Amino acid sequence: MYKAKLKTIIAPVMLLAFVGGVHSSPRGLDSGTKESSKGVTMIKGVRTIIYHVPDIEKATQWYSEILGIEPYFKEPYYVGFNVGGFELGLDPDMKGITVGGNQIAYWGVENADAALKYLLDHGAKEHSAVKVVGDGPKGALKVAIVLDPFGNEFGVIENPYFKLEDVR
C-alpha cells in the first residue's frame, strides 16, 4: 500500500523535477531560467538518481558506507540519501527492471583514480577503468564506471570545469 502511494506521489514529482516544473507559458518560468536561441530552457539539471536494488537493506548498508552518510529517508519501499544536495534513491521494486541498463549517472569526485580504488575496495566491480575524456587549461576530465554489488552502473567523474554555483 505504501509503495503504491509513494509511486503515485513520486512519479509526478520526479517528472516535475526533471523538466523544471509545469508552466502554462514561458512567461510563467522563474526568473532564474535562462532563455536560449531556441526558446526557454526548462531542464534545470539532475535532482534525483534512483537505483533499483533487489535487497534494500544490503544496498542501504553499502551506499551508506561508500557515501559516508546515513540516509535521510528510510522506509521499506524507498531509501533516500542527500549527496551534495542531490538525491540518490534506492528502490526495491524490481518489476520490469533490467539492472545495468544504458543510463549512467556520474557522481562528482575530486580524484577519479582514488574514487575508483575506494569503490573497488568496498565491493564494487570495475566496469570501465579511469579514462581521460577531455583535457584543457584547467586539467583533464576523467571518468570511471563500476558495478555496485547489485549490478547497477555507478559512474564517477573528476571534472575541473564543474562549478557548484552553476547548479540551479
Region 146-166: mean pLDDT is 92
Phi, psi of 67, deg, nearest 5:
-85, -25
pLDDT at 159 over 80: yes
Taking only the tens place, the pLDDT of each residue in 74-94 is: 999 999 999 999 999 999 999
Contacts of 91 (CB under 8 A, 6+ apart): 50, 51, 52, 53, 77, 78
Q: Where are the domains of the chain?
A: 46-166
pLDDT at 123 over 90: yes
pLDDT at 96 over 90: no
- DSSP run (H or E) holding 7: helix 2-19
Which residue, among 125, 135, 124, 137, has the nearest Cα to 158 in the 3D structure?
135
Global pTM?
0.67
Tell me if 45 sits within 8 A of 167, measured CB to CB.
Answer: yes
Contacts of 26 (CB under 8 A, 6+ apart): 35, 39, 40
Architecture of domain 46-166: Roll (3.10)
Tell me if 87 sits within 8 A of 100, measured CB to CB.
Answer: no
Taking only the tens place, the pLDDT of each residue in 9-61 is: 343 333 333 333 333 333 333 444 455 556 566 667 788 999 999 999 999 99
Tell me if 59 sits within 8 A of 81, measured CB to CB.
Answer: no
Contacts of 7 (CB under 8 A, 6+ apart): 93
